[in-house]
A and B are shown apart, each in its own frame.
Chain A
Amino acid sequence: AQKVTQAQTEISVVEKEDVTLDCVYETRDTTYYLFWYKQPPSGELVFLIRRNSFDEQNEISGRYSWNFQKSTSSFNFTITASQVVDSAVYFCALSDPDSNYQLIWGAGTKLIIKP
């Protein structure tokens, strides 16, 4: 069965520190998609990235970077030089044919950036 594990319930760092949010997934399918969403205190879910299972290249977008490792079934998210505005709950999610491409969500990691 599919599963997404975000073992870190809450992380607190001081502004300008780098921080990595872990995501480990389980799926039987060879074709699948992984997502990260950000949910700030205001409530909306903001799409950050989608990665398909055949693309193992790491991605960088400004201060955000993602490390996809199929060998360890992980899709970790790093924020470099964190800022207070990065404070939010971050969700990792998986979709695959077994789930009829519905999103299987991790429990989320609450990130607190202290000034």
Chain B
Amino acid sequence: DAMVIQNPRYQVTQFGKPVTLSCSQTLNHNVMYWYQQKSSQAPKLLFHYYDKDFNNEADTPDNFQSRRPNTSFCFLDIRSPGLGDAAMYLCATSREWAGGKNQPQHFGDGTRLSIL
């Protein structure tokens, strides 16, 4: 049974046209993450939520925003996608963040975003 669900699996958008990717979880985990992964590279953390607290990575472009309306859902909004934003976007969850309780992250299947 899928526990971290990402929709859609594939997304095509036009250059500059806003796009939203969604993630839901059935694990009731406190932490949700968004990663960007380009071909043949490791995932790159964009931001994470600890409950409702939003944490943005310093080098995440302003073009990327996120919303977490409740525990189960988290959205990634790309306001004006450029060609360089074509990538796989991975959502992950973990029960806790820091404090010596480092829990493994559970990943969804990802959304592969293409920009025309």
Contacts and interface: CB of A to CB of B under 8 A. Distances in A.
A97 B101 CA distance: 11
Given A100-B98, A101-B98, A47 B42 contact: no
Point out which of B42, B45, B105, B112 has the most chain A C-beta atoms below 10 A from its C-beta.
B42
A47 B97 contact: no
A102 B79 CA distance: 26
A33 interface: yes
A95 B102 contact: yes
Contacts, number: 46
Interface residues of B, number: 20
A103 B105 contact: yes
A78 B98 CA distance: 29
Q: DSSP class of B's interface residues: helix, strand, loop or mixed?
A: loop
Interface residues of A, number: 23
A103 B107 CA distance: 13
Nearest to A97: B98
B41 A45 contact: no
B45 A44 contact: no
A1 to B, nearest CB: 15
8 contacts: A43-B88, A44-B108, A44-B110, A45-B90, A45-B92, A45-B107, A47-B104, A47-B106
8 closest Cβ pairs, A-B complex: A105-B42, A45-B107, A101-B98, A44-B109, A43-B110, A47-B104, A33-B102, A50-B104
